[in-house]
Amino acid sequence: MAMDETREPTRRDFLYLVTAMTGVVGIGAASWPFIDQMRPDASTLAMASIEVDVSSLVEGMSLTVKWRGRPVFIRSRTQQEIEAGRTTALDDLKDPLARNANLADDQPATDVARSAGEGKEKWIVMIGVCTHLGCVPLEQAGDFGGWFCPCHGSHYDTAGRVRKGPAPENLAIPRFQFISQTVVRIG
Percent of the chain with pLDDT over 90: 26
Which stretches within the chain are classed as H helix?
11-36, 42-46, 79-87, 111-114
The one catalytic residue in 152, 168, 182, 183 is: 152
Homologous superfamily of 46-186: Rieske [2Fe-2S] iron-sulphur domain (2.102.10.10)
Q: What is the rounded CA–CA span in Å between residue 123 and residue 143?
A: 21
Strand-pairing partners, residue 52, are 184
Concerning whether 152 is annotated as a catalytic residue, the answer is yes
Closest by CA to 54, choosing from 184, 187, 175, is: 184
What is the pLDDT at residue 45? 63
pLDDT surpassing 80 at residue 155: yes
Q: Is the dihedral of CA 163, 167, 171, 172 positive or negative?
A: positive
Q: Identify the DSSP state of 7.
A: -
What is the pLDDT at residue 134? 81
Domain boundaries, the chain: 46-186
Which residue type is seen at 10? T
What is the pLDDT at residue 33? 87
* pLDDT-based confidence at residue 44 (cuts at 50, 70, 90): low
pLDDT surpassing 60 at residue 10: yes
Mean pLDDT of 153-169: 90
Q: What is the rounded CA–CA span in Å between residue 98 and residue 58?
A: 25
* pLDDT-based confidence at residue 72 (cuts at 50, 70, 90): very high
pLDDT surpassing 70 at residue 17: yes
Would the pTM of this model clear 0.85, i.e. be above it?
no
